Amino acid sequence: MKILVPVKRVVDYNVKVRVRADGSGVETAGVKMSMNPFDEIAVEEAIRIKERGQASEVIAVSLGPQACTETIRTALAMGADRGILVETDAELQPLAVAKLLRAIVERERPELVILGKQAIDDDMNATGQMLAGLLNWPQATFAFKIGVEGNSLQVTREVDGGLETLALSLPAVITTDLRLNEPRYASLPNIMKARKKPIETLRPEELGVDPRPRLRVLKVSEPPKRQAGKKVASVAELVEKLRFEAKVI
């Protein structure tokens, strides 16, 4: 079985996000970038499946500028076998990403695609579902546990009422939740080995996909600062403030 794992380059989760002065988006110049944490979990799960002898190859694919090569190298250092970069400077939105991934899937013919349920930069949570729809493959989102049994999968996911277990036939698309696993740290020897692993570079036009965005961001602004709370001396005073000042009751 071949597994495809999309990985996205995002602002590191430890960095305080700043809005550009012109309000056009988030400042990325001179900011530490890293792999999307949910995608790290997807890479780890794919590698674990391979280590159990249930997969033959793990392919990491990233979409974006040349700098995304470093994100692929991180996945290779964790244990992925090879990488694919779809190089473009266009602003990629979920539908364009899903179409590009569909083209990669049709080219590589993997039996399983594992990706993070969302990216921490936009929290869109749409790419996995769109990809499954475009491929007409079964999907399981927010995976809490994944079991491979021959040509089928058992995927457990957390829902409001507890745990739900789904049975899927391959090929399939899975999106990962935070509690699926704990990603490994890449060791120095594996980082050195990752430099020798192949990364193929493609362009969107080679895949027959137009990546131009369909949505236009009008303005990005920081949330308003929270105001200090107020102390009240009695329940009656609290009710009065809620009713006449806050007007919530």
Digit-by-digit pLDDT tens for the chain (249 residues) are 999 999 999 998 888 888 888 887 888 888 899 999 999 999 999 999 999 999 999 999 999 999 999 999 999 999 999 999 999 998 899 999 999 999 999 999 999 999 999 999 888 899 999 999 999 999 999 999 999 988 899 999 988 888 999 999 999 999 999 989 999 998 899 999 999 999 999 999 999 999 988 888 888 888 888 888 888 899 999 998 888 888 888
Res 223: pLDDT:
83
Res 217: pLDDT:
83
- Residue 161 sits in a domain of what CATH number? 3.40.50.620
Residue-wise pLDDT tens digits, 136-193: 999 999 999 999 988 899 999 988 888 999 999 999 999 999 989 999 998 899 999 9
Res 15: pLDDT:
86
Domain extent at residue 75? 2-245
Which residue pairs, CB below 8 angstroms and at least 24 apart, start in 143-146? Answer: 143/45, 143/174, 143/175, 143/176, 143/177, 143/180, 144/177, 144/179, 144/180, 145/180, 146/45, 146/49, 146/114, 146/174, 146/180
Nearest alpha-carbon partner for 50 in 28, 82, 24, 20: 82
Q: Where are the beta strands (DSSP E) in the chain?
A: 2-6, 9-11, 33-35, 57-64, 82-87, 112-116, 139-149, 152-159, 162-169, 172-176, 199-202
Q: Count how many domains the chain has.
A: 1
> CB neighbours of 162 closer than 8 A, spacing ≥ 6?
none
The span from the CA of 170 to the CA of 196, in Å, is: 31
Res 220: pLDDT:
86
CA dihedral 91, 186, 15, 58 (to 10 degrees): 30
Res 219: pLDDT:
86
Q: Is 153 helix (H, G, I), strand (E, B) or coil?
A: strand
How many helices (H) and strands (E) in the chain?
Answer: 6, 11
